[in-house]
Structure 1
Amino acid sequence: MEVIRSKQFTADKAWGAKDIANMNGVTTRLHWTDQPYKWHVNDGEEVFAVMDGTVEMLYKENNEVKSATLNAGDIFFASIGTEHVAHPKGSARILVVEREGSV
């Protein structure tokens, strides 16, 4: 049993993470960042929940770049094959649920 206070979590570097759980190959990790990630496609589905801060999520749909602003409490679901990149506005804490070993 563990209580995690996501708003208090920090990491030594951007996209540093606290591993929370691995349930049959599906990981749940809490990330802290103040820097963009990189454009990528996961090898499975991904749930991206903003716990604190604001993140601009850029994603491609039919080769067109689209954008969604995510605030604390908002969730982005990336289906298989969705190319995307997260750009935090300042520091942010994000809960990510994805297949183990995914990018």
Structure 2
Amino acid sequence: MKIIRTRNFTASRPWGALDIANMGGITTRLHWTDQPYKWHVNDGEEVFAVLDGRVEMRYRLDGDEHSAILETGDVFYASMGTEHVAYPLGEARILVVETGGSV
């Protein structure tokens, strides 16, 4: 059993994470960041929930780049093959559910 006070979580580096659970190869991790990630495609599907802060999510569909601002409480679902990158707007805490070992 765990209780995690997400607003208190910080990491020593951008995108540092607290491993919460691994359920049959699907990981749930809490990330803290104040810097963008990198363009990537996950090995499977990904659920990205903003728990604190704001994040600009950039993604590509059919070669065209799109962008959406995710507010606290918003969820971004990346289907398999979705190229994307997250740009926090200040500090952000993000819950990510994805296949273990994914980028």
Q: Name the structure 2 match of 1:100.
A: 100
Structure 2: how far apart are the matches of 1:5 and 1:78? Answer: 26
- Report the secondary structure of 1:7's partner residue: helix
TM-score normalized with structure 2 length:
0.99
Uncovered stretches (5+) of structure 1, i.e. residues with no partner:
none
1:9-42 Cα deviation digits (max 9, x unpaired): 0000000000000000000000000000000000
Q: Name the structure 1 match of 2:54.
A: 54
TM-score normalized with structure 1 length:
0.99
Q: CA deviation at 1:81?
A: 0.2
Q: Name the structure 2 match of 1:25.
A: 25
Tell me the matched-pair count.
Answer: 103
Aligned-residue Cα RMSD (Å) equals 0.3
Structure 2: how far apart are the matches of 1:7 and 1:79? Answer: 28
- Report the secondary structure of 1:59's partner residue: strand
Q: Name the structure 2 match of 1:16.
A: 16
Residue identity matched to 1:11: A
Alignment of 1:16-95 (within 5 A): 16-95=16-95
Q: Which consecutive aligned stretches of 4+ in structure 1 deviate over 6 angstroms post-superposition?
A: none
